[in-house]
Structure 1
Amino acid sequence: MISINQIYIYPVKSTQGISLTKANAVDGGFENDRILMITEPDGTFITARQYPELLKVETAIIKNDIHVTLPSGEKIIINLDDFSNNAEPTEVFGNRFTSYIAPIKVNQFISQFLQKDVQLRWLGHQLSRRTKRYQKIPVSFADGYPYLLINKSSFDYLQHLCPEKLDIRQFRANIIIQGTLPFAEDGWKTIKIGEVIFDIVKPCTRCILTTMNVNTGKPLNNNEPLKTLGYFRTDEQGQIDFGVNMIARDHGKISVDDKIEVLARQPAKNYIKAFPPEEKSEEQCYSIIFEEKTIKGNNKQTILEQLEQNKITLPYSCRTGICGRCLVVLKKGKVNPLTQSAIKRNNQILACSCVPKSDIVIQLKK
């Protein structure tokens, strides 16, 4: 079953997200998502692309107040009722609209942190901003569209290819889903989650912000994961996509574990695939002991494949690490996981997603 794995909102654009168990879809996105943004004094937006230290700023919503905590531990409480009543010109990626400026003490607090004269802005109760493609659809301070969905299986596939350790929070999604094949979302047009119907607008084009470690604010090595994504998710215009942007047709609540129903599909976008030459590691021979039966194994194929070649049958459905039916217990030895989800608790592993790294002893879970 396709379902929601995680939900996130980001009350202040470019700062740390807040994980939720449920969220309200309202005008412009989830309630309290990207309702505040840091700008230049002239209203031009500022993000963690220029100031990655923003990624270490924590936010919390307590009653009607937004609590902002700097990495140093300094805190300030922001009440939306204290913002200016004058609508001022504001701009995000050439999209022009109006917003309201925070009190002087709030702006001074953030300016001191960034060592730059800045302002904090609020869109107000009635959003003046609209998406570029859909002029009737309001949007918050998000880059372009109200919702961003990422498929955990797509992330796991990327992690398998990427040499750097990734964190799914680097992609700053609102909705993270589970229970479907990698990049299945590419072919979706309309989906229903809980009470809400969403239309997929376009794939999400990724930027340098995805290369930043969400805990340290420092970039990963070799421009990852953009470098790896570029091998198989680059379109004809040279843009790199990961995840999908969405708009909601109506308001309503959605929750973690809500079922996702695909209502309509569309042709998936074509991407240029240009993987670098594979570095070939020397093949090693290992023994695989399964339920007291020993077979000759190697470090090139998954455990499931090698068992099947020796007429040993394990239950399975997906062969991609999603269904979990090929779960076995690793009693001895080491394996290389092909996905982050391949290693479970209590030495349990997915036979379809692990390759022997030494002689191994495995058995069925009892």
Structure 2
Amino acid sequence: MITVSQLFIYPIKSLAGIPLNMSNVIEGGFEYDRVLMISEPDGTFITARQFPELLKLKTSIVDNNILVSTPHNESITIKFDEFTESNEPTEVWGNHFTSHIAPIRINQFFSHILQKDVQLRWIGTNLTRRTKRYPQTAVSFADGYPYLLLNEASFNYLQQRCSEKLDIQQFRSNIIIQGALPFAEDGWKTIKIGNVIFDIVKPCSRCVLTTFNIDTAKPLANNEPLNTLRYFRSDEQEAIDFGMNMIARNFGSISIDDPVEILERQPAKKYIEFFPKDNQLNHEQCNITFEGNTFKGNQQQTILEQLEQHNIAIPYSCRVGICGKCAVVLKAGKVAPLTQSAIKHNHHILACSCVPKGDINIELVKQSK
């Protein structure tokens, strides 16, 4: 039997989650899930992708208020009735809607932690945000969809192949199930959990946020688990999928041990297997020359990781070979690409998706004026 094994909500986007035994399915997602978000003053969202230290901030719910505590035993209570009544422009991943701004004391608390001026925003009781593919479905501050399903067997399959110790909470799922075969969820279209029916919208494309240890906020070695996932969960656009985005057809409640019933199936998405050859990656040392400066590197880690280890910063965003921001010019030497698009024209390569195959000489791409 397939059942629910864990439930989580994340009251503030990118902060630590709260495990639950039961949760209510309401408009926009689970009750209290991603109802708050840190933003730039202009309403643009901020996440742990840019500020990993957010992962170390703990949240709890006390008398309908949100309590936030830091590793230094600082804390603040957030009361919903203190937010502005006005509807302020807000943006998440190009999705524009409105939200309410926290009082000064709360904004100063988070500004002090991040060492920049930020605001905390509340989605409000009248949700104005909608999912892009389902305009009738409301969503809170989640990346795209109200619910994220993860299969324990799929996670265990990944862990067996990944060199780094993983925590299932790195994937920030709401609903974790047990009793299914690995990646059986790829072929599900409609499921029922408790008295709630869910439609599975699409696989969840993964980003750099999954590479951070949730306790220390430090990145795992070798860009894991993305480095392992890209070998067997990359699609033709080279997005890396893990977990399933869902929307709910009705309101209700979900509890631990609730059975999961498969109501309708669909063809599973096809993925490109790109396992490296046995001799493609090795532990031998090499020289990496960047902008005329040379340091000792290796033939196992990506160029981006090795630059970072030597305190050399270059632009990047996704770290999985999609955005292209980490492109550099390969002036000499050879590299092993980890994705099909890691090698570009004019000797441009993606630092996040290429591993040296010996001594290399690279430089930043010169930006045209």
Class of the TM-score when normalised by the shorter of the 2 chains: 0.7 to 0.9
Partner of 2:60: 60
Does the alignment pair 1:153 with 2:158? no
- Tell me the secondary structure at the aligned position of residue 176 of structure 1: strand
SS in 1 for 2:105: helix
Any idea what the Cα deviations from partners look like across 1:158-201, whole Å, max 9, x if unmatched? 00000000000000000000001000000000000001000000
Find the counterpart in structure 2 of residue 33 from structure 1. 33
Matched, 1:236 2:236: yes
2:342 match: none
Q: Provide the residue aligned with 1:299 in structure 2.
A: none
Matches within 5 A, 1:94-243: 94-243=94-243
Please list, as runs of the form range in 1=range in 2, the aligned pairs for 1:314-333 lying within 5 A after superposition: none
Deviation at 1:10, TM superposition (A): 0.1
What per-residue deviation string (whole Å, max 9, x for no partner) do you get for residues 131-181 of structure 1?
A: 001100000000000000000000000000000000000000000000010
- Say which one has the larger Rg: 1
1:18 and 2:18 are equivalent in the alignment:
yes
Rounded to whole Å, the distance in 1 between the matches of 2:111 and 2:70 is: 12
Name the aligned partner's letter for residue 257 of structure 1.
Answer: D
Structure 1: 5+ residue stretches without partners: 280-366
What's the CA shift for 1:127? 0.5
Q: Matched residues in 2 for 1:160 and 1:72: separation?
A: 35
Q: For residues 10 and 254 of structure 2, what CA distance do their matches in structure 1 show?
A: 17
Taking structure 1 as the reference length, the TM-score comes to 0.76
SS at match of 1:216: coil
Distance 1:71 1:38 in 2: 18
AA of the residue aligned to 1:23? S
Q: Which amino acid aligns with 2:42?
A: D
The residue that corresponds to 1:327 in the other structure is none
In 1, the alpha carbon distance for the partners of 2:278 and 2:32 equals 45
How far is 1:108 from its partner?
A: 0.3
Give the 3-state SS of the residue equivalent to 1:169 in structure 2: helix
Determine the C-alpha separation between the residues in 1 that align with 2:71 and 2:34: 20
Give the Cα separation in 1 of the matches to 2:71 and 2:143: 25
CA distance in 1, matches of 2:84, 2:103: 7
Matched to 1:157, the amino acid is Y
SS at match of 2:186: helix
Measure, in 2, the Cα distance between the counterparts of 1:170 and 1:104: 31
| Cα distance, 1:278 vs structure 2 | 4.5
Paired residue type of 1:141: F
1:246 aligned onto 2:253: no
Instruction: State the distance in 2 between where 1:54 and 1:139 align.
Output: 22
Letter paired with 1:50: Q
Tell me, in whole angstroms, the C-alpha distance in 1 between the residues paired with 2:160 and 2:12.
32
Residue 78 of structure 1 aligns with an amino acid whose one-letter code is I
State the Cα deviation string for residues 208-255 of structure 1 (Å, max 9, x = none): 000000000010001000000000000000100000000000000110
Q: Supply the distance in 2 between the matched residues of 1:162 and 1:123 (Cα, whole angstroms).
A: 37
* Superposed displacement of residue 276, structure 1: 1.8
Cα deviation for residue 277 of structure 1 reads 2.9
Correspondences of 1:335-354 after superposition (within 5 Å): none
Post-superposition offset of 1:258: 0.3
* SS class of match (1:160): helix
Q: How big is the shift at 1:63? A: 1.2
Aligned equivalents of 1:33, 1:126: Cα separation in 2: 15
Residue equivalent to 1:259 = 259
State the alpha-carbon separation in 1 of the partners of residues 64 and 255 from structure 2. 22
TM-score (norm 2): 0.75
SS in structure 2 of the partner of residue 107 of structure 1: helix
What is the letter of the counterpart of residue 87 of structure 1?
A: N
Q: Distance in 2 between matches of 1:264 and 1:116?
A: 48
Are residue 86 (structure 1) and residue 62 (structure 2) matched?
no
State the Cα distance separating 1:71 from its structure 2 match. Answer: 1.7
Counterpart Cα distance in 2 of 1:172 and 1:87: 28
Cα deviation, 1:28-60, whole Å, max 9, x if unaligned, reads 000000000000000000000000000000000
Instruction: Map Cα deviations across residues 1-32 of structure 1 (whole Å, 9 max, x no partner).
Output: 00001000000000000000000000000000
Residue identity in the other structure for 1:95: N
What is aligned with 1:43? 43
Secondary structure of the structure 2 residue equivalent to 1:232: coil
Percent of aligned pairs with the same amino acid: 67
Change (3 A) 1:261 1:82: same
Q: Distance in 1 between matches of 2:278 and 2:243?
A: 26
